[in-house]
């Protein structure tokens, strides 16, 4: 093994260790019960009724679909459903279910009352999805043995279970799959006051000296997302321990987030790069997302799924039939005056690609 191979192996091992550490930390911060879950009051009330009704009847609850942007607590709610029912939670993801056999193997190992959690369920392969229809309705799967005219279908019973599906793109689900869920919940972005509660709880678990004004500062820059709030808290904790006295105050949080390129609106380096390219390179647009992605050196999917939702919600970017357009707020955020109103024909000529 040469030096390059050794270095690559060490880096992969280090990356795996970091990911395991981050995963363990996130698991510590997850609420275990519905009463501990902060925010999403409507979803919590509806889900509580579904679970309490099922427990009183002594039967597994209807299948549950959780939709909404990343980081709002869909995985946490899936874990909570298992805890509230006193059931085991089996976890997989849509991309991992490439063949019907992958799903059949997982379903055959379920015990009665188990919760099967499929993250990114909209990315399931079609053969596995079609097998899931029958499992969800009749708790049965048909396994095909052999090929061609001699193929035989063998029906296998599946123990009654509850499927919890999570998706960031509810519109990408097929109608037949969506219709088989008995309860569908859409997760909304969090208000800053709710994020302050999330941060206070996380700080208590992580033993961070978080002051109220520090929590308020971090919450305001967390893009309405608990996962981002917890990540920023950990980075501000590092700064407070190394460059301050350990207490996370408003001033410490501001200084720390400046180091990590998170501005007062929660925009990070990539967000500002997208806005900067849109304003400076394309005159505010309209411009296609693929062209915009090339300008900032990112994949189109990253720009569309990571940056755009928050920039649109923050009122800095608009989607139009002809492409993405910077709003006056985006120009001002970059310290520039927005141009006088012009027709779409005068803006972004030759830059429109899907």
pLDDT tens, 155-201? 788 899 999 999 988 888 888 899 999 999 999 999 999 999 999 99
243 is an annotated ligand-binding site residue: no
108 is an annotated ligand-binding site residue: no
Q: Is 168 marked active-site?
A: yes
pLDDT in the model for residue 149: 65
**Above 50 in pLDDT, residue 47?**
yes
12 is an annotated ligand-binding site residue: no
pLDDT in the model for residue 352: 37
CATH 1.10.10.10 domain locations along the chain: 269-346
Q: What percent of the chain has pLDDT over 90?
A: 43
- Ranking 13-22, 42-51, 127-136, 238-247 by mean pLDDT, the lowest is 13-22
The whole-angstrom separation of Cα 314 and Cα 308 is 10
CATH architecture of 269-346: Orthogonal Bundle (1.10)
pLDDT tens for residues 148-160? 565 666 778 889 9
238 is an annotated ligand-binding site residue: no
User: Do residues 322 and 346 make contact, with C-beta atoms less than 8 angstroms apart?
Assistant: no
Q: Is 227 marked active-site?
A: yes
Mean pLDDT over 115-138 rounds to 90
**Above 60 in pLDDT, residue 281?**
yes
Mean pLDDT over 83-97 rounds to 92
Q: What percent of the chain has pLDDT over 70?
A: 86
Q: Is 234 exposed, middle or buried (0-12, 13-18, 19+ CB in 10 A)?
A: middle
Kindly name the residue from 167, 194, 225, 227 that is annotated as catalytic: 227
CATH 3.40.50.300 domain locations along the chain: 40-130+159-186
Torsion of CA 53, 59, 38, 89, to 10 degrees: 180
pLDDT in the model for residue 147: 64
> What's the pTM value of the predicted model, to 2 decimals?
0.81
223 is an annotated ligand-binding site residue: no
139 is an annotated ligand-binding site residue: yes
**Residue 66: beta bridge partners?**
166, 185
User: Do residues 180 and 135 make contact, with C-beta atoms less than 8 angstroms apart?
Assistant: no
Q: Is 249 marked active-site?
A: no
Confidence of residue 145 (pLDDT cuts 50, 70, 90): low
pLDDT in the model for residue 350: 36
CATH of domain 40-130+159-186: 3.40.50.300
Angle separating helix axes 74-85 and 41-57, nearest 10 degrees: 30
Mean pLDDT of the chain: 84
Confidence of residue 113 (pLDDT cuts 50, 70, 90): very high
* Cα separation values, 142 from 101, 117, 154, Å: 10, 21, 5
pLDDT tens for residues 290-332? 888 888 888 888 888 888 888 888 888 988 888 889 889 888 8
pLDDT tens for residues 325-338? 988 988 888 888 88
Kindly name the residue from 114, 162, 167, 168 that is annotated as catalytic: 168
Residue with the larger pLDDT of the pair 285 and 135: 135
310 is an annotated ligand-binding site residue: no
The number of angstroms, rounded, from the C-alpha of 195 to the middle of its chain's C-alpha atoms is 16
CATH 1.10.8.60 domain locations along the chain: 192-259
The whole-angstrom separation of Cα 232 and Cα 235 is 5
- Show contacts of 198-205: CB within 8 Å, 24+ apart: 198/38, 198/39, 198/226, 198/229, 198/230, 199/229, 199/230, 199/233, 201/29, 201/38, 202/29, 202/229, 202/230, 202/233, 203/233, 203/248, 205/28, 205/29
255 is an annotated ligand-binding site residue: no
pLDDT tens for residues 225-267? 999 999 999 999 999 999 988 899 999 999 999 999 898 888 8
76 is an annotated ligand-binding site residue: yes
User: Do residues 263 and 218 make contact, with C-beta atoms less than 8 angstroms apart?
Assistant: no
The whole-angstrom separation of Cα 78 and Cα 58 is 19
Which residues are within 8 A (CB) of 2 and not within 5 positions of it... i.e. 6 or more apart? none
Residue with the larger pLDDT of the pair 312 and 5: 312
Mean pLDDT over 31-51 rounds to 93
> How many CB atoms sit inside 10 A of residue 77's CB?
24
The DSSP string of 167-219 is: ES-GGGS-HHHHTT-SEEEEPPPPPHHHHHHHHHHHHHHHT-EE-HHHHHHHH
CATH of domain 192-259: 1.10.8.60
147 is an annotated ligand-binding site residue: no
**What is the DSSP pairing of strand 115-119 with strand 89-93?**
parallel
Residue with the larger pLDDT of the pair 217 and 289: 217
Say whether the peptide bond before residue 57 is cis (omega within 30 degrees of 0): no
86 is an annotated ligand-binding site residue: no
The whole-angstrom separation of Cα 251 and Cα 236 is 11
């Amino acid at each position: 093994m040469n030096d390059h191979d050794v270095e690559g192996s060490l880096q992969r091992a280090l990356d795996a260790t970091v990911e395991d550490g981050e995963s363990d930390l996130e698991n510590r911060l997850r609420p275990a019960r519905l009463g501990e879950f902060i925010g999403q009051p409507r979803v919590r009330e509806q889900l509580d009724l579904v679970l309490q009704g099922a427990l009183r009847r002594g039967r597994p609850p209807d299948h549950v679909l959780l939709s909404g942007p990343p980081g709002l607590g869909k995985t946490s709610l899936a874990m909570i459903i298992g805890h509230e029912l006193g059931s085991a939670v089996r976890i997989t993801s849509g991309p991992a279910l490439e063949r019907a056999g992958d799903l059949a193997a997982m379903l055959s190992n379920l015990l009665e009352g188990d919760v099967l959690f499929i993250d990114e369920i909209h990315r399931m392969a079609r053969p596995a999805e079609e097998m899931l229809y029958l499992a969800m309705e009749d708790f049965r799967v048909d396994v095909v043995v052999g090929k061609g005219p001699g193929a035989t279908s063998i029906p296998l019973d599946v123990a009654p279970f509850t499927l919890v599906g999570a998706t960031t793109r509810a519109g990408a689900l097929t109608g037949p799959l969506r219709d088989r869920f008995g309860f569908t919940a859409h997760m909304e972005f969090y208000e800053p006051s709710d994020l302050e509660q999330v941060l206070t709880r996380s700080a208590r678990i992580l033993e961070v000296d978080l002051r109220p004004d520090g929590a308020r500062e971090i919450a305001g820059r967390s893009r309405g997302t608990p996962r981002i709030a917890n990540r920023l808290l950990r980075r501000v904790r590092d700064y407070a321990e190394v460059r301050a006295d350990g207490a996370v105050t408003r001033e410490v949080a501001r200084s720390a987030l400046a180091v990590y390129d998170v501005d007062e609106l929660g925009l990070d380096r990539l967000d500002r790069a997208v806005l900067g390219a849109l304003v400076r390179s394309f005159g505010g647009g309209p411009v296609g997302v693929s062209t915009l992605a090339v300008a900032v050196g990112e994949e189109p999917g990253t720009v569309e799924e990571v940056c755009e939702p928050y920039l649109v919600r923050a009122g800095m970017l608009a989607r139009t039939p002809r492409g993405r357009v910077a709003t006056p707020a985006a120009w001002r955020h970059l310290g520039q005056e927005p141009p006088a109103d012009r027709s779409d024909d005068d803006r972004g000529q030759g830059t429109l690609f899907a």
